[in-house]
Structure 1
Amino acid sequence: MSEITPDLVRHLGVLARIQLSDDEVTRLTGQLDVIVDNIAKVSQVATPDVVATSHPIPLSNVFRPDEVGETLTREQALQNAPDAADGRFRVTAILGEEQ
């Protein structure tokens, strides 16, 4: 068993600025205890001869090669725009930026 106590959970709640009720402290104490125990089990199994993996199944590149194809003209791209000016999409200013 790990050393997760209700006092530790309350302390973590204070650090995280989360107000926890007594019921939540009790529930989280048990849940965090299980999590820490499971991490300890994995740590016991992880030995230097076991290669670390980021994904359990080998992945292969599924991208297709880049090929130049037919593209839209500027007029085609802007034809359904709600607002356009000077060959560009026109949008409202954001974040207080002035134009």
Structure 2
Amino acid sequence: MSLDSATVRRIAALARIRVEDDELPRVQAEINGILGWIEQLQAVNTEGVEPMSGGSPVGQAQARLRPDAVTDGDRAEQVLANAPDRMGAWFGVPKVVE
């Protein structure tokens, strides 16, 4: 599949990307290259290959998740232990507004 310059201009307009006239051939070649890669991927025979999800085969046990419970944390001392500057129970940060 190959896109003409009018289609590339339309795609650029939809994506709100300004493409100057002198850049159009380069952008057109890049998009056509990407479409060529997609055609190559579509040509791969995937018959008999099971779908994957997140790097693990479908049907495999899901990762164990912790219960979704709201807690107050109660770890202020642990969190602030490595703070470069500390002001009581808060992180000290440099003033950025005069």
TM-score calculated relative to the size of structure 1: 0.51
The higher-RCO structure (CA 8 Å, 6+ apart) is 1
Q: Structure 2 CA distance, aligned partners of 1:40 and 1:10?
A: 22
- The alignment status of 1:29 with 2:31, answered yes or no, reads no
Equivalent in the alignment of 1:49: 48
1:28: how far off?
1.1
User: Which aligned segments of 4 or more residues in structure 1 are displaced greater than 6 angstroms?
Assistant: none
Percent of residue pairs bearing the same amino acid type: 26
Equivalent in the alignment of 1:18: 17
Q: How many residue pairs were aligned?
A: 72
Computed over aligned residues only, the root mean square deviation of the Cα atoms, in angstroms, reads: 3.5
List runs of 5+ in structure 1 lacking aligned partners.
Answer: 64-70, 83-99
TM-score calculated relative to the size of structure 2: 0.52
- The alignment status of 1:81 with 2:80, answered yes or no, reads no
Q: Which has the larger radius of gyration?
A: 1
Structure richer in strand, relative to its length: 2
Q: Structure 1 CA distance, aligned partners of 2:31 and 2:55?
A: 26
List runs of 5+ in structure 2 lacking aligned partners.
Answer: 58-62, 66-72, 81-87, 92-98
